[in-house]
Structure 1
């Protein structure tokens, strides 16, 4: 089994917890209060800027041109994702210029940036894959299970897009190429924990 698939399978309990997290369920059912969706988009945009920087750091560390090009292409995918957030911000009157990260977002960003600067490519990829694979999984899972088209259906459609899954698979290929279980298991699991805590923080008002 590929390393990326092995780590994903090892963390299925966390994946299931996130799939049915109250925040995620409310979002896909369309019942999420607007102020919580606004907070989520603002926090996620802050996170994604750090995610793009981590890709750029990984590219700078790459010894081979193919890796360098792939990390830069993946950074471009994050910039496209940020365009979605910009559209949503305009539609829902969200100010992305002065976002103050909550503690869960800050912890995730600090972990990601510290890993990018201090660890080898295998560990960097391991810290970044969970976000990509998880969102591709959430999109596909709720596309098949059913979701409300309004008001937040564009969120499901974006992450269910095969193009987004392709980006996740590109990053997983980099993890398989550069990682080992000894290097990758800890940052992979911690990143998924950060994902769960991120949803909990932005959805803390949901019973």
Structure 2
């Protein structure tokens, strides 16, 4: 090799991250290295493995464990370091103190900013996988990790305490472990008894100063949970390497794992505690976990815009009931013009929808848009004249041009994304404003429409449809969906902020 040859091949300098799992094997494929490699692939990484132990196990339990010499593990790690860029490391089963020492020495010589340590001590079957003297040695490895992902029994062992039986106790233990070692700890509620007060299956990323991010979640009813901890930690490492944010990686990893648990019963592996279905979501047509595919992420992206809408003069005065009647009628006139085009966008979505259920939803929405909302608007405008096309404001025209462009050239998924803010933002604003006012509020009927159970249900359905489309979209289409959503949200902001002009007053007879 001459001096001009790069140490790392050019093809590895961008794109798919390289994720190294340092863990033991599971010949049944549900846990350990085998689960790690599946999880890494399912989350968009290239998986590599350095074996710490060989197990003889199946879905019913562990029959035997063989630990190769620690020197051989070092040889594996050095071979990878000499050739491959490593973007993240996941550490799993470390069966003895010598193995832990080898991993610790390698990590200190080859620092990696993304080390996820899953302190595997006991298999899902209850079989012990780590020697007693390894627990003390494992504690010396904790400060090297960026994130530690113990289950509740493992968290208790690391602290030398009893296992937490409530979510508050688990969060407290995680915070103290994080503070002791200057790292992040993933507190996992999967081992909590149901009804402890946390609800569902919570997870939280906890730092020395407390909770960084807490996520609720459903408790999936399945007996097939073998390898859940291995899979979760591998997904977390991979998604951090792809997106560079631990909180965002946790959100994606939790959603992916929940899907893998939901699909677990589709597999028929063994007669004991079976594995999660690592590739179930990919096999069903969903894309790799990506924040741009998650509507919660979209909502976060417009967080400042939503706050700005609350501060718009129109919304402030609408909230406290001081909005001038002429200003409200001007808004309604513009909205009546807008709804005509908006209903056409909904009808176009109905034409392109892939399922009968979605076709019916969008078609009914187009009808409701004209028959119900327009009727309310016209009743409010009865004394102010009927709006006409020549009364259109620049803000309304801009919004309509955006919708028309999306309808004319966009895919079904893009149209769904473009029409969604008119549901979501109105439902959000309407619910909050209606909750603060009693029936004698001067605009109670308008607020009541957008805070009604019917509109809530329609908004949730529009979100669910768009969410499914985003997860099944190609990368380019997903980007176009997000652009359409963000632009519609910006147009909503401008629509609320518009003011009457003298010309508008004359045309509308105000």
User: Could you state the TM-score of these two structures normalised by the residue count of structure 1?
Assistant: 0.89
Distance change in 2, residues 1:51/1:139 (3 Å): same
Mapped pair 1:189 → 2:481: no
Alignment partner of 1:37 is 2:334? no
Q: Is the 8 A contact 1:28 1:152 kept in 2?
A: no
Give the C-alpha shift of residue 166 in structure 1.
1.1
34-43 or 149-158, larger mean C-alpha shift: 149-158
Comparing 133-142 and 95-104, the one that deviates more: 95-104
Instruction: Point out the structure with max Rg over C-alpha.
Output: 2
Paired residues of 1:50 and 1:109 also in contact (CA < 8 A): yes
Deviations 1:53-107 (A, max 9, x none): 00111112234322221210111221211111122112x4332345521111001
Q: Does 1:113 align with 2:404?
A: yes
Hey, what does 1:198 align to over in structure 2? 495
| Distance (Å, rounded) in 2 between the aligned partners of 1:7 and 1:204 | 34
Query: How many angstroms apart in 1 are the aligned matches of 2:388 and 2:501?
Result: 23
Alignment of 1:1-207 (within 5 A): 3-79=294-370, 80-90=372-382, 92-97=383-388, 100-146=391-437, 149-179=440-470, 180=473, 181-202=478-499
Output one character per residue of 1:101-128: Cα deviation in whole Å (capped at 9) or x when no partner.
1111001011101101211111111111
Distance across 1 between alignment mates of 2:403 and 2:442: 31
Q: Judge which range, 118-127 or 172-181, deviates more.
A: 172-181
User: 2: distance between equivalents of 1:48 and 1:142?
Assistant: 22
Larger RCO, structure (CA 8 Å, separation 6 or more): 1
Measured in 1, the distance between the counterparts of 2:501 and 2:321 equals 17
Moved over 6 A (4+): none
Structure ranking higher in strand proportion: 2
| C-alpha separation in 1, matches of 2:335 and 2:498 | 12
CA-to-aligned-CA distance 1:6-58 (integer Å, 9 cap, x gap):
21122111111112311111122221122211110000010011110001111
CA distance in 1, matches of 2:361, 2:312: 32
Task: Compute the displacement of 1:177 (Å).
Answer: 2.2
**Larger % of helix: which?**
1
Pick which of 174-183 and 193-202 moved more.
174-183
Contact map agreement 2:337 2:389 (CA 8 A) in 1: no
Q: TM-score, normalised by structure 2?
A: 0.38
- Aligned alpha-carbon RMSD (Å): 2.1
Q: Is the 8 A contact 2:414 2:484 kept in 1?
A: yes
- Is the 2:330–2:500 Cα contact (8 Å) retained in structure 1? no
> What are structure 1's unaligned runs of at least 5 residues?
none
